[in-house]
Amino acid sequence: MNCHHGIALRKPRRARRARHTHAGARDKASKLLGVALDFTAVDFETANGFIGSACSVGLVKVRSGQIVETKQWLMKPPAGFDHFDPRNVSIHHITPDMVEDAPRVSELLPELLDFIGPDVLVAHNSSFDSGVIRAASEASQIPVPEIAHLCTVKLSRKAYDLPSYSLPFVAEEAGHPIENHHEALADSVACAWAMIDMAERAGLENLLEVADHHSVRLGLTSAWQPGDEYSRATRDAQGWLASGHPLPPQDAFNNWPQEGPNPTPNMDADPSHPLFGQIMVFTGNLALPRPKAKELAAENGAQTASRVTRATTALVVGDGFVPEDLANGRLTNKAKHVLRLRENGQKVSIISEGEFMQMVGGFGLNV
């Protein structure tokens, strides 16, 4: 058995067919939900562009619509994937010295999975957080069960009418503002309250009913065990490290090149992903070329476009934009156009670079 950067390289078993089917997730959820509003909310922070590089997690257990237990850990990311990208640090402010004495994620995964148990995982971009568990398990050579998950980004787009569906805006609408955004427990608590609020507004008693009410599909992240084929995220990360690059190259931060073509959306993508079915436009400078950003969006089922129209449902804004800029007016012309469309009744949201990159699984290891 060979080992590369902390991941054992074995001849893989035949890959299990990735399952994103609504029916599979529904079947799993319907066996668990009963009549109570029971679930576990989660939020991960990651150290770098590898989705499995978990450095912090917040967990919130909800029973009958009430928060009954919480957990929070700092952790070292998987061995070989434990460098801290300055961009990630600038978001969550977790530094290497803060996790120096923390356990490795491999030591915490069994307790984390035990806390979640058979619950449906609820998260703000649940494809990301369930993907963190899967990729961290692969990198740590720890089996992981299949995970049914429900995304509060997708739900909030149906339940609320907001200029941005970032978690601070959603939490404010739900009546539980976040005091420390990107602190994992604060975010997972806010996500839990948002889920509870959306259920209460709909007058419904369990997750499956709320998802059906808003026509939002549950996702299902496949189980994995050592010897199975790695996910694309882990394979990409292995390739990146094998090339000798601990961080994306500096030219990844150059200004936008040409607009580039608008690729055909991948209709076989996970329908529960928050980008699936969106009609997206990009504006401003991001950390990767605009054509690459469009490719990542299309891979997840989004249709990209080059200008804002009445068909647009989401605008990704670069130039260091954060959702709070909506209040102070630091916006591009395209963003101002979107706000005017909203004033005229069009449902279109503004997404920051950080939110978009999290939705596509990190900072783009293939740039």
Which residues span the domain enclosing 129?
19-242
Model confidence at 80: pLDDT above 60: yes
Q: What is the pTM of this model?
A: 0.75
- Domain presence at residue 191: yes
**At 315, which CATH number?**
3.40.50.10190
Q: Are residues 216 and 113 in the same domain?
A: yes
CA gap 78, 60 in Å, rounded: 23
Q: Which residue in 170, 128, 117, 116 sits closest to 43, CA to CA? A: 128
Quote the crossing angle between the two packed helices 184-202 and 152-159, to the nearest 10°.
40
Domains held by the chain: number: 2
- What residues contact 86, with CB distance under 8 A and at least 6 apart? none
pLDDT digits (tens, 9 = 90+) for 207-254: 999 999 999 999 999 999 999 999 888 888 888 777 766 544 433 434
| Helices marked H in 43-151 | 86-92, 105-116, 126-140
Q: What average pLDDT does the segment 89-112 reach?
A: 95
Type of residue found at 216: V
What CATH number does residue 196 fall under? 3.30.420.10
CB 62 within 8 A of CB 188: no
CA distance 184 to 189: 9
C-alpha to C-alpha distances, 146 to 50, 116, 337, nearest whole angstrom = 20, 12, 42
- Domain match, 333 and 354 both: yes
CA distance 167 to 34: 28
Given 195, 215, 242, the domain boundary residue is 242
Considering the domain boundaries, does residue 183 fall inside one? yes
Spatial separation of the C-alpha atoms in residues 360 and 261, rounded to whole Å: 19
